[in-house]
Amino acid sequence: MRMNCAFSCDDAYIQHAGVCTYSIFYNNRDIEEIYIYFIDNNISQIYKDMLNEIAQKFEIDGERKIIFVDLFEISKNLKTKTDFNRSTYGKLFLGRISEVDRMLCFDCDTVCTGSLKQLLTFDMKDASVWGVQDTVNPYFVRAIGKDKTYRYINCGGVIVINLESWRKSGMENKFIEYITKWNGNPPFVDQGTINKLCKTEVLSPAYNVINPMFMYSVKQIKSLFRIRTYYTQDEINTAKAAPIVIHYTGELYNRPWCNGCTHPLKQYYLDYLENTPWAGVIVDKPFSKNCKIQNWIYYNCPFFVYWLMIRFIELRHYFVKRSMKGDTKK
C-alpha cells in the first residue's frame, strides 16, 4: 500500500512542514510506501537536505520518499498576480502529478498524531475533496454562491483529493478561470476556490482539530458562525481527546513554535520538533494589537460581547470584499 501526501510551502514554513513530515512517518510506520510531495516555492537546498534526512530515519519501515515539484512550473498557466504567497495556490495544481490518483494534502501548520490508513481506502463516492467542516464567516459562504445548509470545509489539517477526478473534469482550468475572475484574490483564496468549484464531503473532525473546537461549545459555534449543520458535541469531544491531525490555526492560543503558546495540544508539536533537524527552534512572535484586543474580550467579557465583536468583523469583511473588482456580480 502506498500513501501519497503533499505540502505547498517555501522557506518561511519549511520547519513546520518538516515537523509534520516527521509526525506522518512516525505514526504510519505500518504503511509500506509513503511518498511526500513538496510543491516547491524556492525551498533552499539546506532545507531539502533536512527533509531527506527525516525520511532516511524511517527507511527501516519501508520506502520513504521526499519529492520536490517546482511550484512555478506546475502553476505557470496562472498568469494573474495575487496578494497572497503563490504557495497558497499550490494544492490546486496537484493534478499535474500524473502518477497519483488520491492525495492527502496537508497545511504546514499541522501535525499528524494517529494513523491515516483509513483515508487511503474509503469510498470517496462522487466527491472530489473530503475535509473537515470549518467555522467560517458566513460572508464567505455566500460569496461563493452557497446557501446556509452548505458544510464549508477547511482545506487545512488534511484534505483528501481525488486527483483522477480533477484531471477528468479539467479542474485546473476551472481554478485558473475562477481566480482570474477575482483578480487573483477569491474569497478565502484556495479554500474558497475548492469549496466553490468542487463537490465536497465532510470528514470526521479528528482529521483537523482546530482552535475553535477548544474555544467554543458546538452551540456557540452555531451561534457565532450561523451554521445550521455541524458536528455533535460528542463528535468534537472525541476528536479533541483522540486527534489524528492537529491544525494550529493561531487564534487565541498562538502557535506552538512561538514563545508563550497556550494551545492545549502544543506538546505534540514540541515533541516531534525535538526529533527533527530544527530541534529547539522557537521564536518570539507576539500577537498583533487586533488579536490582543480580541483575546482580552474573549477572556474578560460575557460571550454576548464577544459575539458582537465577531459580527463587526464579519461586516468589515463583507464591505472590504464588495469593494474589490472581483466581486461575484462580475
Answer whether residue 324 shows pLDDT above 70: no
Q: Please tell me the distance from the alpha carbon of residue 95 to that of residue 60, in angstroms, as a whole number.
A: 30
Q: What is the pLDDT of residue 141?
A: 87
Q: What is the pLDDT of residue 209?
A: 97
Using DSSP's 3-state secondary structure scheme, residue 87 falls into helix
Residues 6+ apart with CB under 8 A from 327: 321
Q: Please tell me the distance from the alpha carbon of residue 37 to that of residue 92, in angstroms, as a whole number.
A: 14
Residue 219 burial (CB count, 10 A): 10
- Range with the poorest average pLDDT among 78-82, 165-169, 212-216: 78-82
Q: What is the tens place of the pLDDT at every residue in 285-302?
A: 877 787 888 889 999 999
Q: Where are the alpha helices (DSSP H) in 58-132?
A: 71-74
Stretch 170-174: mean pLDDT? 96
Answer whether residue 51 shows pLDDT above 90: yes
Q: Please tell me the distance from the alpha carbon of residue 319 to that of residue 166, in angstroms, as a whole number.
A: 33
Q: Are 71 and 38 contacting, i.e. CB atoms less than 8 angstroms apart?
A: no
Q: What is the pLDDT of residue 285?
A: 80
pLDDT top residue among 225 and 245: 245
Q: Are 13 and 43 contacting, i.e. CB atoms less than 8 angstroms apart?
A: no
Q: Please tell me the distance from the alpha carbon of residue 240 to that of residue 243, in angstroms, as a whole number.
A: 6
Q: Please tell me the distance from the alpha carbon of residue 177 to that of residue 78, in angstroms, as a whole number.
A: 9
Q: Report the DSSP beta bridge partners of residue 33.
A: 2, 63
Q: What is the pLDDT of residue 239?
A: 98
Backbone angles phi, psi at 290, to 5 degrees: -65, -40
Q: Please tell me the distance from the alpha carbon of residue 67 to that of residue 64, in angstroms, as a whole number.
A: 10
- Range with the poorest average pLDDT among 8-17, 76-85, 95-104, 115-124: 76-85
Task: List the one residue out of 196, 183, 198, 179 whose CA is nearest residue 145.
Answer: 196
3-state secondary structure 92-109: HHHHHCCCCCEEEEECCC
Domains and CATH numbers, the chain: 2-288 (3.90.550.10)
Answer whether residue 233 shows pLDDT above 60: yes
- Dihedral sign of CA atoms 305, 230, 178, 161 in order: positive
Q: Please tell me the distance from the alpha carbon of residue 19 to that of residue 309, in angstroms, as a whole number.
A: 35
Q: What is the pLDDT of residue 188?
A: 84
pLDDT top residue among 314 and 237: 237
Stretch 195-208: mean pLDDT? 97
Stretch 268-277: mean pLDDT? 97
Task: List the one residue out of 266, 203, 209 whose CA is nearest residue 236.
Answer: 209
Stretch 135-152: mean pLDDT? 86
pTM across the whole model: 0.92
Q: Render 208-255 in DSSP notation, one character per residue.
A: SB-THHHHS-HHHHHHHHT-SS---HHHHHHHHHS-SEEE---TTT--
Q: What is the pLDDT of residue 187?
A: 81
Q: What is the pLDDT of residue 329?
A: 42
Q: How do beta strands 63-70 and 33-40 pair?
A: parallel
Residue 16: all three cell numbers together = 513546520
To the nearest 10 degrees (0 to 180), the angle between helices 266-273 and 14-27 is: 90
How many Å from the N-terminal Cα to the C-terminal Cα in the chain? 46
